Amino acid sequence: MNISEERYLLRMFVGESDRHGHHPLYEAIVLKAREQGLAGATVLRGLMGFGKHSILHTAKILRLSEDLPMIVEIVDTLEKVEGFLPLLDEMITDGLVTLEQVRVIHYTA
């Protein structure tokens, strides 16, 4: 599939130790996005970060953290992303969710 048009990037910042039911939150988000038919999702693990509580989380050996930042990214149409937002609202109790318009240049299966 070739796409050369505007889409939207939904980005969620959560903690590695955050849970939704019996699953890590980032995993639950990806599974729910797949279930809802979104185009795709990617999870990135941050090496270092802090959030609203200013607690530093890092992967450095001398300061091991079990709660590294996890970033989930989804790119799709505005309609699909907006339809997914109420589900995220139920799942994410602590974190950051952003939405921005992007231009998809190349997307193939």
> Where in the chain are the domains?
6-103
Task: Give the pairing type, strands 41-45 and 23-24.
Answer: unpaired
Burial of 50 (0-12, 13-18, 19+ CB in 10 A): exposed
First to last CA, the chain: 6
pLDDT in tens, 64-81: 556 789 999 999 999 999
Q: What is the pLDDT of residues 22-68, one digit of tens each?
A: 999 999 999 999 999 999 999 999 877 777 776 766 766 555 556 78
Q: What is the pTM of this model?
A: 0.85
Instruction: Please tell me the predicted confidence (pLDDT) of residue 107.
Output: 74
* 3-class DSSP state of 36: coil
- 10 neighbors 74 (Cβ within 8 angstroms): yes
What fold is seen in the domain 6-103? Answer: Alpha-Beta Plaits (3.30.70)
